[in-house]
Chains A and B, each alone.
Chain A
Amino acid sequence: GNSVTQMEGPVTLSEEAFLTINCTYTATGYPSLFWYVQYPGEGLQLLLKATKADDKGSNKGFEATYRKETTSFHLEKGSVQVSDSAVYFCALSDTGRRALTFGSGTRLQVQP
């Protein structure tokens, strides 16, 4: 079945540091890939998405590229802010494109 593996957290960075959160997946077919962010006490917000190989999703300074050859969708940001502190989830859509399979999440802590 489908699965998503994320690097374990927490990831602790200083403000303005470079961020990478690794995500690899196992899936049949050609899933769409997503990054969601969850701030404390809130639900999930869609951060970015990519629907086919080599697509790059981007939003709010975050980027991720759909790499089919390495089955990866790593999240990057050039300069993090304290306000980026949250839990980040990588996810993929199932074959029928009706449900998402999520990774276990990576907590990011940005210190001033």
Chain B
Amino acid sequence: DAGVTQSPTHLIKTRGQHVTLRCSPISGHKSVSWYQQVLGQGPQFIFQYYEKEERGRGNFPDRFSARQFPNYSSELNVNALLLGDSALYLCASSLTGVFSGANVLTFGAGSRLTVL
């Protein structure tokens, strides 16, 4: 079975541009979460979506937005890119939006964004 897939794997943008990152969850998973991992740090929570609705938001500016589609795939959009947005963006999926003993996050390999 395919795991969590993300695209693109790498991309380079310049300051002020816009970027869209895409994620396909594991089949049967209805929740998608996005995390930002700056080099040398742990991932930080950006958003959680479940059943196409935003269920959680981390401490990120409004330049960051996301959505989930009827097939449960998701997009993360970042506007007006800053140098500090350079990071590995991780998508994770889970069966439902609430963690429990059996329901845990499964991460994709990430999209590495470099802002010049």
A residues sitting closer than 8 Å to B (CB atoms) are 4, 32, 34, 36, 41-46, 49, 51, 89, 91, 93, 96-105
- Residue interface bits B25-41, CB-to-A below 8 A is 1, else 0: 00000000101000011
Closest residue of chain A to B46, judged by CB?
A: A99
Which residues of B90-116 are within 8 A (CB) of A? 90, 92, 97-101, 104-110
Cβ distance A92 to chain B, nearest Cβ, rounded Å:
10
Q: Which of B40, B97, B101, B106 contacts A98 (CB 8 A)?
A: B97
> Is the beta-carbon distance between B98 and A96 smaller than 8 angstroms?
yes
- 15 residue pairs bridging A and B, Cβ less than 8 Å apart: A41-B109, A43-B4, A43-B109, A43-B110, A44-B107, A91-B42, A93-B99, A96-B56, A96-B98, A98-B98, A98-B99, A100-B45, A100-B105, A102-B42, A105-B40
Q: Which residues of chain B come closer than 8 Å to A91, judged between CB atoms?
A: 42
> Is the beta-carbon distance between B48 and A46 smaller than 8 angstroms?
no
Count of chain B residues near A, Cβ 8 A: 27
- With contacts A93-B99, A98-B55, A98-B98 taken as known, whether A46 is within 8 angstroms of B41 at the C-beta atoms is no
> Is the beta-carbon distance between A99 and B42 smaller than 8 angstroms?
no
- With contacts A104-B41, A105-B42 taken as known, whether A99 is within 8 angstroms of B33 at the C-beta atoms is yes
B65: Cβ under 8 A from any A Cβ: no
